[in-house]
Chain A
Amino acid sequence: MPYIPHTKRDTEEMLKAIGINQIEDLFEAVPSDLLEMNEFNLPAGFSEQETRQHVSGIAAKNWTAEASFLGGGFYHHYIPEHVTNLGTRSEFFTAYTPYQPEISQGILQAIFEYQTMIVRLTGLDATNASMYDGSSATGETCLMAANITDRKKILVARSVHPQYREVMRTYCNGKGLIMEEVPFDMSSGQVDAAALGSSLTEEIAGIFVQSPNFFGVVENMKELSDMAHEKGAVSVQIITEALSLGILTPPGKNNVDIAVGEGQSFGIPVSGGGPSFGFLACVEKYIRKLPGRIVGETVDEDGKKAYVLTLQAREQHIRREKASSNICTNQTLFAIRALIYLATLGKKLRDLALLNHSHSLAFQKMLSEKGLRRVFSKPFFNEFVVDGCDTLLLQKLKEQRIAGGLPLKRFYPELKNSLLVCVTEMITKDDMEKYLREFLFIKEAPLRSA
């Protein structure tokens, strides 16, 4: 039997040591009609070889792009081989939460280093050991903002990732908070600051603005943060493209109180949306309001430097119903992978971020020259919205094994012919040229047929 090593003799000896005749005797507390004695309606177990064939067969039903211009919250970036290699070391992946610090110094130190990376990237003061992902971390941040301010209303920009807003709404409904959306400016692509200002009353716990936003556009976080603070609200910046932290002014410098987002860009494959990890960082004064685990530095009995899970008085296993959150399991394995990625790129993260920006800008201009208009005027990081796209273009690109971008109509009816196009370092010049060729082919098709 796979993964159950007992021989018949082992089982007999163990039953004898316990003083029973059959394993089912151990279930004597289970009402007899509840104990399943029959076979389950399941196929017989597969060998590993058959399993591989079967699962590979299912996987093959996914279409796989050779070049993907899809972004919108999850990004194709290059992953150095040693990042994958170290990130899958089994001492890391087969361990659990480092509750026993003496034999977990490695994982604890790794989390401590991860925390340092996140704090330096965000320009804030403290962070936890990771969250499930960007969306649920943002949901948790709604509760955190309400907890900090003792207020019940959340303002969120409509230019925040649509699924993040859905998750926020679910968390708000659960807790009994009210969430209100603020429109974006159709020409700049940024949140409508005037509309935000008029909704920003002294009832608002926090403003939630994504930058770069779902359209890739960079927001004026400083101005928005200052507006929030004037009314006693916290300013929350959501970040779904973590690579942008390599070049853009960090949240802390823009007077943001809490930065929350998705860390997948740091060395983690897209994998359908997970597992990756969410990050959540804040200014010093809110550290005791953070959900989840935090690692701190201390000493052992001999005065030697050591690490340990700390500030646990916030957490569910100590505080129960008074805890800052119910979160327990997080995504440590992927926080460690991001740490290794960030240690690898180091200061070159800035160069990579710049390259993403320049390449996407160059491609946007190429498209614009051929007639695909840029929709929003304000600067973007590595993805942008173009207008004038139709489904035929995406279909033609697909035939060339190119994922051409994300149509926005589903989320924003007013952007009905718009496409969100993302260009990372994975996109080559050749990919861009292929894309243009297909576009021109379609554009000129009516002429040809005429």
Chain B
Amino acid sequence: MQTIFEKSVLGRSQYQLPVAIAAEIELGEGMTRSMLDLPEVSELDIVRHYTALSQRSFGVDTGFYPLGSCTMKYNPRINEAMAGLKEFAQFHPWQDDADSQGTLELIYRTQEYLTEVTGFPGLTLEPAAGAHGELTAVMMMKAYHLDRNDTQRRKMLIPDSAHGTNPATAAMCGFDTVEVPSDAQGGVDLEKLKAVLDEKTVGMMLTIPNTLGLFDRNILEISKLLHEKGALLYMDGANLNAILGAVKPAKMGVDVMHINLHKTFSTPHGGGGPGGGFVGCVSSLVPYLPAQRIVKDGDSFRLDFSAPKSIGRVRAFYSNFGVIVRAYTYMLRLGKEGTKRIGRYAVLNANYIKARLKDFYNIPFQQHCMHEVVFNDEKQTQYHITTMDIAKRLIDFGYHPPTIYFPLIVHGSLMVEPTETESKETLDEFIDAMMKIAEEAKVTPELLQRAPHSAAVKRVDSVKAARNPVVVCNTCCT
């Protein structure tokens, strides 16, 4: 498909500005640009072009999207309508507190809900995404230790099953990362943990449940071991959807965690963002939370900046406020009954898929999974079929492929996360497709190897893209 630049025709632009009431300028010679190489297209051209691009994309609204670790649940439309309310959409972030009561109250109420479901007394909604929440949390851990004159702690422990953001975040805070191997059951290897844990340990970054979709049955032992050495436990909340309403993270000995509002709390993923990255913490870490806090005085709300030990600010203004409105709207819809069911039904759905596909695909870990199930291609290797082939063939059946080749510790992993918003019928159809593909792997493996057959393009050449990067369109519009 042509780019918008290739569709440009000189003189075509129809855009009309309001009538100018003044024309004087004071921008002198050398301060202004002579050329603006932007396209000229009609409004209808634009509508058709971007409608076409949207149709060459796949969202939760298009079909089942079992992308593991991403919690692609339904994005309720009422969330969008509430974020679009005039008083929110036109709310300028520099309005003073008296003129911002609606915004402040909404953030405050969202925090109250999150305190109840996580058990954390301290919290911030300032981070703009999950990785941003991680960064905030690790900075808080750093500030906590430094404030106690505990300057020798430089080691961050990270399980080998962790998301790449964990080691990257630790590095952004100047820490050295130490990888902790998993044991045969897929949990943290306690003996290996004890071997590397010492007084130089900042803490541990643990995804709960982990990226294998498993709840580590030694969680209380892990947090106890860390605390005995003065280290902190950070919970990567990317997988919170598994335990929302079932386990309060604070009770596990977690000191600080992040939550992705765009996963657990139904805000849309937007083709890659925006997100929302709430951070919650125990009381001993409260002083280090970002400085901008919302305080309730009687019936009114105000911003408070009197936190001398705070790590500072991680994002301007009220962060992704529109995302917070969406999450709060969802929380209201859930209420106490709905909240309690989220994790339970997400886990039920994943285990149903696991149970019905266990004879067709290898499952490296037998324990009941949580919200996602990890398969791999071990049963298909004999037919020269890889996880990549299975994933691409799923596209032909109308599905978005699961997460593939992650976690790294499972060879050829295929990670399926259905979420609680999918019905049994949807899961059954997906299971049928997966069974059919397992059969095709035996009988007509070339069908898989050359898949997808129905997509806009065949498999793309990533090597060529990286070797000779073409990152902008060269068609001139002048």
A45 touches B333 (CB 8 A): yes
Which residues of B have CB within 8 Å of A48?
78, 333
Taken together as a complex, chains A and B put the C-alpha atoms of A351 and B36 apart, in Å, by 11
A91 touches B54 (CB 8 A): yes
Tell me, rounded to whole Å, the shortest Cβ–Cβ distance linking A123 to chain B. Answer: 8
Give how many B residues have a beta carbon under 8 Å from the other chain's beta carbons: 198
Determine if A156 is an interface residue (Cβ-Cβ < 8 Å).
no
Point out which of B91, B117, B243, B458 has the most chain A C-beta atoms below 10 A from its C-beta.
Answer: B91
A103 touches B36 (CB 8 A): no
The closest CB in chain A to the CB of B85 belongs to A59
Q: A250-B33, A326-B165 are in contact. Are A29 and B216 (CB under 8 A)?
A: yes
Please tell me which one of the listed residues B31, B54, B313 contacts residue A166 in the complex, with CB atoms under 8 A apart: B313
Please provide the 8 A-B residue pairs with the shortest distance between their CB atoms, ordered closest to farther: A273-B317, A45-B335, A333-B270, A94-B59, A106-B56, A272-B321, A332-B272, A362-B22
The stretch of A31-39, A197-205, A225-233, A434-442 in contact with B is: A31-39
Determine if B280 is an interface residue (Cβ-Cβ < 8 Å).
no
Taken together as a complex, chains A and B put the C-alpha atoms of A306 and B424 apart, in Å, by 36
Taken together as a complex, chains A and B put the C-alpha atoms of A307 and B8 apart, in Å, by 20
Q: A102-B452, A271-B83, A272-B318 are in contact. Are A333 and B336 (CB under 8 A)?
A: no
The closest CB in chain A to the CB of B431 belongs to A17
- Interface extent on A, as a size class? 35 or more
Taken together as a complex, chains A and B put the C-alpha atoms of A171 and B341 apart, in Å, by 38
Determine if A61 is an interface residue (Cβ-Cβ < 8 Å).
yes
Tell me, rounded to whole Å, the shortest Cβ–Cβ distance linking A411 to chain B. Answer: 11
B173 touches A174 (CB 8 A): yes
Please tell me which one of the listed residues B33, B88, B269 contacts residue A96 in the complex, with CB atoms under 8 A apart: B269
The closest CB in chain B to the CB of A71 belongs to B94
B461 touches A348 (CB 8 A): no
Tell me, rounded to whole Å, the shortest Cβ–Cβ distance linking B294 to chain A. Answer: 12
Taken together as a complex, chains A and B put the C-alpha atoms of A58 and B348 apart, in Å, by 36
Please tell me which one of the listed residues B135, B168, B247, B315 contacts residue A323 in the complex, with CB atoms under 8 A apart: B168
Determine if B297 is an interface residue (Cβ-Cβ < 8 Å).
no
Determine if A417 is an interface residue (Cβ-Cβ < 8 Å).
no
A317 touches B406 (CB 8 A): yes
Determine if A344 is an interface residue (Cβ-Cβ < 8 Å).
yes
Tell me, rounded to whole Å, the shortest Cβ–Cβ distance linking A362 to chain B. Answer: 3
Task: Digitize A76-115: 1 where CB-to-B-CB distance is under 8 Å, 0 elsewhere.
Answer: 1010101001101111111111111111111101111101
A176 touches B328 (CB 8 A): no
B315 touches A133 (CB 8 A): yes
Taken together as a complex, chains A and B put the C-alpha atoms of A357 and B24 apart, in Å, by 8
Tell me, rounded to whole Å, the shortest Cβ–Cβ distance linking B101 to chain A. Answer: 4
B339 touches A105 (CB 8 A): no
B465 touches A308 (CB 8 A): yes
Determine if A361 is an interface residue (Cβ-Cβ < 8 Å).
yes
A109 touches B321 (CB 8 A): no
Determine if B74 is an interface residue (Cβ-Cβ < 8 Å).
yes
Taken together as a complex, chains A and B put the C-alpha atoms of A1 and B41 apart, in Å, by 47
Which residues of B have CB within 8 Å of A5?
421-424
Determine if B432 is an interface residue (Cβ-Cβ < 8 Å).
no
Determine if B282 is an interface residue (Cβ-Cβ < 8 Å).
no
Tell me, rounded to whole Å, the shortest Cβ–Cβ distance linking A354 to chain B. Answer: 7
A52 touches B82 (CB 8 A): yes
Which residues of B have CB within 8 Å of A275?
128, 273-274, 320-323
